[in-house]
Amino acid sequence: MAGEVTPREGEPATGVLPNYICEARLITLIAPYDVVPGDPFLVGMIFAIATRAAVAGAPVEGMLQGVFSLAKAIGEVWTQGAPLYWDPPSRSLTLASKPGDPFAGFAITNSPADAATGIVVVPIGGSTRTTGPAFT
């Protein structure tokens, strides 16, 4: 069921930390649109990568952190370490943040203007930032 979390094998017993549920690398969310494995999506301010196919409105497991090859804004030149933002209309990452575009991660490698994708590290909780890594 969406919204439920289950401790995974090897995680601390809840008796040790009575309020601990599980690590937050993979959680079940409701797909905001049809997704296939590897598609990024946003639920509220939670930026995640789909681990399987799901239709809009169905539960889907989303990875909240990791290194991924993701669609980038056409014509942008990414440099290693550049902050990247999720652009919902294009469903791609961009250097240019518009109001409401959440921070999604950092470029891991340089990516030329003609590249359709770039390598991105998505830090857990990254999408909670709305104005970049310095929180300005």
Contact 106, 83 (CB under 8 A): yes
CA angle 68, 110, 69 (to 5 degrees): 15
Which residue is associated with the tokens 């590249």?
A: 115
Statement: residue 56 has pLDDT above 60 = yes
pLDDT of residue 103: 92
| Domain 26-128: which CATH number of 1.10.3910, 2.40.300, 2.60.40, 2.40.50 | 2.40.300
Q: Is the pLDDT reported for residue 136 higher than 90?
A: no
Residue 134 binned pLDDT confidence (cut-offs 50, 70, 90): very low
Q: Token digits for 59?
A: 């539960």
Whole-angstrom distance, CA of residue 120 vs CA of residue 122:
6
CA 16, CA 86: separation in Å to the nearest integer? 37
Q: Domain ranges in the chain?
A: 26-128
pLDDT in tens, 13-40: 555 777 777 777 899 999 999 999 999 9
The tokens for 64 are 């909240």
Contact 111, 70 (CB under 8 A): no
Question: Within 13 Å, how many C-alpha atoms sit on residue 74's CB side?
Answer: 1
pLDDT at 77: 97
pLDDT in tens, 77-127: 999 999 999 999 999 999 988 888 889 999 999 999 999 999 999 997 555
Q: What is the pLDDT of residue 45?
A: 86
User: Can you tell me the mean pLDDT for 54-81?
Assistant: 96
